[in-house]
Structures are given as C-alpha cells and as structure tokens.
Amino acid sequence: MYFYKIALLNSPLEPLTYQSQSVIAVGHEVNVSLRNRQLTGVVVQACEIPEFKTSEIGTLTSNYYSPKQIKTAKFISEYYICSLGEALNLFVPFLSEECAVGTVNGKSVMENGEERKKQNNTSIVLSKKQDDALTFLQQHPVALLFGDTGSGKTEIYMRYFEDILQQGKRAIFLMPEISLTPQMQIRLEEHFGDAIVMWHSKVTKVQKKKLLERIYNGSAKIIAGARSALFLPVEDLGLIVVDEEHDDSYKSNARPRYNARDMAIYMGQLYKVPVVLGSATPSMSSYVKFPHYRLKGGHYTATREFFFESSREEITQNVEAAIVGTKAKDEQAMLFVPTRANFKYLICEACGHTHSCPYCSVGMSVHHKSNAIKCHYCNFSERIPTQCTKCGHEMLTSNRLGTAEAVRFFEENHPQIRVGQFDRDAVSTQNKLKKLLKAFNAGEIDLLIGTQMLSKGHDYHDVTLAVILGLDNQLNMSDYRAREKALSLLIQIAGRSGRKKAAKVLVQSYNRDFFEPYLNNYEQFLEDEKVFRQALYPPYRKLSRVLFAHQNAYKAEQDMMAMVENLRRFTAVEVIGFGTAQIEKIANKYRFQILLRAEKSTELIEALMRSKTPLAEIDMDPIEFM
C-alpha cells in the first residue's frame, strides 16, 4: 500500500492523507471521497504510513500539474497565506500524453490534420528608439518599459514575440481585462494569425475548451489574456509581458489574494524566462525595483493642452461649452466620470439622511433607467423612494454625478450630440464592447462618457477633447497611493486624446498646483514620491491588511482584538492601526481590520501565521483599504 498527501482543489483544508494500491506520480489529479462527497485533489507528496486509518484514492483523471506549477502554488500558499488546494485551483492542469488533443507520437499537429493559418512572416520594423528599448529589455531578466502613451510599446512587445517564436518558444502577454479589446485582438491576429489566443472572463466555456485544445497541441504560441492566463499550461515558455503593469486589476480581491504582476516576476525567475513590465505611468514598486528604459514621445505629433477648472464634480458651463464646441468642429470628445449610475447618493434635503443599503454601510446609487437605487457592493436594489425613510420629507436630492446622468444631460440638452456610455452597466459583454468601440472609431459617436474603463489602453484616433471630473475624490482617499493613482488616471485618460490632431484636456480639480508640474514629467513625480514613501510605505516596507467579517459585530471585533494581542509579541512587526473598517458593513457582515507593517515579508508572514485567528482574512501587499 502507498500513501499520499492530497491537496483538495479550492478547499481551505490542508492536504489530507489517502492510500493507494498502486504508485501515483506527484502532480497527478485524482478523485477522492471526503464525508460522503466526491472531490478532486492533487497528489502533492508521497508519505509514510500514518497512525490513523485512511481512505482509498478513487480514480485518476487525465490531468496533471507540472513540478513548476506545484512549486508556484506552494509559493502562493505560503506568501499569500491560503491553502495549497486554493492555490492549485488557480492553475489549468496539463493533459497526460495519451489524452492530449491533436498530438501524434508526442508531436503537436493542427486540428483535423489541417495546417492552421500561419503567422505573417513580415517582421515588425521598429524605430531607432524602439529598437534601443528592445535591446535593453533583452539584456535584463526583469525590465520596465516606461513608455508614454502612443510611444509604440505594443510594437516592441510584438517584435520581442517574433524573436521568441523563432526560438521555438511561446509567450504570455498579460493585460488588464478591459484592455483585451477587439482592437488589440485584430492587431495581434493580423500579424501572428492563429498563433494568438485571447483568454479573458468573457470567453464562454465552449470557447475556452477550444482555446485550451490549441494551447495543448502547441498551435497557440502567444497567449494574450487577463491575470488568469498566467496559470495556463504553457510548455516551452520563453517570455512574459505584463502590460499596464500599474493596473490594480492584476490584484485578486478574493483568496488567494495574489498580484499577477508579482507572480509573473516570480515565475520568470522559476522558469528562467525574461519578464517585461510596461506602462506610461509605472507603479512606484516597479520603478524602484527594476531597471527601466524611458521611451518618450511617439508616433503622434499632435499636441495636448491642459486646462484646469476649480469646481466640484459636475457638468459646468465650461465643460458643456467645450463638448458642444468639439461637436461643432465634427471632432470627438471623451468625458470621464468616476461613478456609474445617475448619481452616487440619494440624500434628504431636510435631515441630511443618505439612503444606504440595508446590508452594507454605503449609500445606494440612483439608476433612473430601472427606477431603482442599487448597492454596488452587494447588488441589493429597491425602487427609488419618494420620501425620506428617516423623517418622511419628500424633497430628496441626488449627489455625486454618475455616467448615466451625464449621458441623460447631453441627450436631453444637446440631442445633436451622439452619446455612448462606457461603463460596466452598459458594456456587460464582449459583443457590446466591440460594437461600442467600433461605432466610436467609425465616427458614429461624438461623445464617449465612461468610468476608468476609458483609460485602459484603447486606441481612439480622433479625440480632440478629454474632460476629467471627480479627480479630487481619488486624490483625497485615505490610501498611501492616492496621489499616484490620481495622477496616473489623469495621464492615462489624457493620453487617449490628441492622437491625430491637437487636443485639449479639461481637468476639474482644486489641486492644480499638485497635478500641473507632473503632467509631462511622471518620472519626476516618482522621484518626489520616493521621499514620501521611504521608511513608511511600499516598496520600502511591507504591508498587510487583516480583515474580519461576521454577522455578529461583537464576534468580529473580539476575533480582531485577540489577533492584535497575538501580534504584539512580534517586535519586528508594527501594528499601524486596528478597528472598524472604513466600510463598516458589507452583505450584512460587520467588518473590522488590522493594518501591519514590517521591513521584511518573512517577518510579516511568520507573525501572521502564528497569530492568525479563525475569522482572519489576510491580504498581503494590499491595494484596497476600504
């Protein structure tokens, strides 16, 4: 009899011991029984006969996890403090050879024996600056391409992909989910043909199965995708590119709370392949840690002029006139609004009561189209009330303009302006995204109104006006990265304008003195920000956030206090603060938190592992503090 430790996929349990009458290789996926339930697990270790009775391993599946996948999963489990089964569940396993799709005698073949469309053999021609940048990237195991919007970062990546493919290797190209646009897909497929696959959340199960067949049989050479693409079963990996590396969407907000950018760097070292990080507004972490190549300017010779308006978040006469004037010239405009819906809050004019979600301690957003107020945290919704639920007053007012209200304003007051709405409410499928971007680039939309989705790497050819509202809300958040995030957002949105013609960027902010010096000098901001961060914040210190949530507020608070007492034994770890979370309740659970700081991640992880209490949800390297 043989005995093995089995990590149960997506289970918080530690690996359990099972027995088998035959030898099973480490990494193989198996079916096992636990308390009359059939579960799937992975053999992670052979072990000695235990002192307790064990159950028999059931059937073996056709899947296995490579040694490098298992090693990466163990790192995720240890660093991000989750079970090994939860970490392994991130990965798509390999197929055993006899089950591999489209392989003959171990060699990959095309589907149905027919050769698929080859990639374009015409090599991408780079400018001297771009060629120098590529040479720099090829000389470093991890390097940052710090390139302005429009400077040709994508061409450099594609040229690097060409080199990797010529070596008989494959590449992973990570992008934020919303950057995986039809535009980018067309651009990649025009050059690389069917060597490209696009992997993201809007791909259906049937489509994913077909894409996996191409990854397994080797016909997919470049896997472009959101953060989950990093965990696909890619043989012969030769390069990982992380575009828009500063983007917060690379960080998972559910366990395992990993950061795909940081995991790409770890995997690059493990697989011994180069990693390229790219951004026009790189994160402070990447700027400090890795060598960078500064690529200024670009293909576009048009100029951008910035104007500031000291105003609260609203469509002022200046904003309205600028958009109407742009339409009069048959040019296009973009309007950034940080909030979707019509308004973020519904407030009583008599008593000042904000209509909040009954399950979350946040204001409900107003959606006129569905005649509802909705919670953007738990999705609870109810009809828009006609009177205050606290004092009965019938005069209710809305606060904090949203995208839908901005759309309604222009449709009602300027019907000659064709408006498109670009947020999660309006763009819920890949087809809707494709249709909207196609219409905008075809000149069928004059004004595109959207949230941060506007800033995510899209190409807008004829935009001559970008209007940015609500930037001060981002700047004033209680987040050590608030200045970095606000300035990055401004530069990213501004960079979508002025591609062909001179453009104006109208910024609504009371903080012109902060923004203006850095508009064309982001590296100076990063240098100045170093002084603010040193000795206190990442990348110079390690942070962790521990969250406690329970329907019983007393239980959550007591669990937090118990962990605080445990943590105080560790002198290398500083308890920055603890107490009620900024959003006190979400989905009917009361929330408390602890913020921790240390010089080394090892010190922090040791303290967390030895101090952990039952309700503690640990977030290493947090980017969310609400």
pLDDT tens-digit map of 541-565: 999 999 999 999 999 999 999 999 9
On whether residue 367 sits in a domain, the answer given is no
On whether residue 377 sits in a domain, the answer given is no
Do 246 and 191 lie in a common domain? yes
Amino acid at 191: H
Non-local CB neighbours of 352 within 8 Å, separated by 6+ positions? none
Q: Give strand ranges (E) for 416-492.
A: 419-422, 447-450, 463-468
Non-local CB neighbours of 617 within 8 Å, separated by 6+ positions? 255, 546, 547, 548, 549
User: How many degrees, rounded to 5, is the angle at CA 571 between CA 570 and CA 575?
Assistant: 80
Q: Which SS3 state, helix, strand or coil, does residue 569 take?
A: coil
On whether residue 273 sits in a domain, the answer given is yes
Non-local CB neighbours of 297 within 8 Å, separated by 6+ positions? 129, 148, 151
Do 332 and 442 lie in a common domain? yes
What is the structure's pLDDT at 102?
46
Amino acid at 391: C
Distance, CA of 433 to CA of 177 (rounded, Å): 12
> Could you say which of 531, 556, 579 is where a domain stops?
531
What is the 3-state secondary structure of 262-286? HHHHHHHHHHCCCEEEEECCCCHHH
CATH number for the domain spanning 593: value is 3.30.70.600
On whether residue 391 sits in a domain, the answer given is no
What is the structure's pLDDT at 359?
87
What is the structure's pLDDT at 383?
87
On whether residue 359 sits in a domain, the answer given is no
CATH number for the domain spanning 38: value is 3.40.1440
> Could you say which of 476, 511, 531 is where a domain stops?
531
On whether residue 266 sits in a domain, the answer given is yes
Q: Which SS3 state, helix, strand or coil, does residue 500 take?
A: coil
> Could you say which of 464, 499, 531 is where a domain stops?
531
Do 466 and 551 lie in a common domain? no
Q: Do 336 and 398 touch, CB atoms closer than 8 A?
A: no
Distance, CA of 112 to CA of 236 (rounded, Å): 23
CA distances from 592 to 154, 253, 614 (A): 43, 17, 14
The residue among 149, 147, 145, 148 whose CA lies nearest residue 160 is 145
| 275-279 vs 142-147, strand pairing mode | parallel
On whether residue 537 sits in a domain, the answer given is no
Binning the chain into helix, strand and coil, the percentages to the nearest 5 are 35, 25, 40
Amino acid at 518: Y
Do 327 and 259 lie in a common domain? no
Domain span at residue 129 reads 103-111+124-295
| Residues in the chain, pLDDT under 50 | 101-117
CA distances from 45 to 26, 27, 30, 153 (A): 6, 8, 13, 43
Q: Do 142 and 277 touch, CB atoms closer than 8 A?
A: yes
* CA dihedral sign of residues 594, 600, 601, 607: negative
Q: Which residue has the tokens 């309700």?
A: 615
Q: Do 162 and 189 touch, CB atoms closer than 8 A?
A: no
Do 88 and 164 lie in a common domain? no
CA distances from 153 to 187, 299, 483 (A): 13, 11, 25
* Domains of the chain: total: 4
Do 167 and 273 lie in a common domain? yes
**Is this prediction's pTM over 0.85?**
yes
CATH number for the domain spanning 457: value is 3.40.50.300
CA distances from 550 to 182, 361, 589 (A): 42, 14, 5
Distance, CA of 470 to CA of 484 (rounded, Å): 15
Do 589 and 616 lie in a common domain? yes
Do 447 and 335 lie in a common domain? yes
Q: Do 361 and 384 touch, CB atoms closer than 8 A?
A: no
The residue among 391, 426, 386, 389 whose CA lies nearest residue 406 is 426
Do 510 and 419 lie in a common domain? yes
Do 558 and 466 lie in a common domain? no
Q: Do 572 and 607 touch, CB atoms closer than 8 A?
A: yes
On whether residue 395 sits in a domain, the answer given is no
- Interval 576-615: pLDDT, tens: 999 999 889 999 999 999 999 999 999 999 999 999 999 9
Which two three-digit tokens encode residue 107?
A: 């060699």
Q: Do 398 and 366 touch, CB atoms closer than 8 A?
A: yes
Do 290 and 309 lie in a common domain? no
The residue among 429, 410, 408 whose CA lies nearest residue 201 is 429
Distance, CA of 81 to CA of 609 (rounded, Å): 8
Do 142 and 179 lie in a common domain? yes
Distance, CA of 224 to CA of 211 (rounded, Å): 11
* Dihedral pair phi/psi, residue 429, rounded to 5°: -135, 165
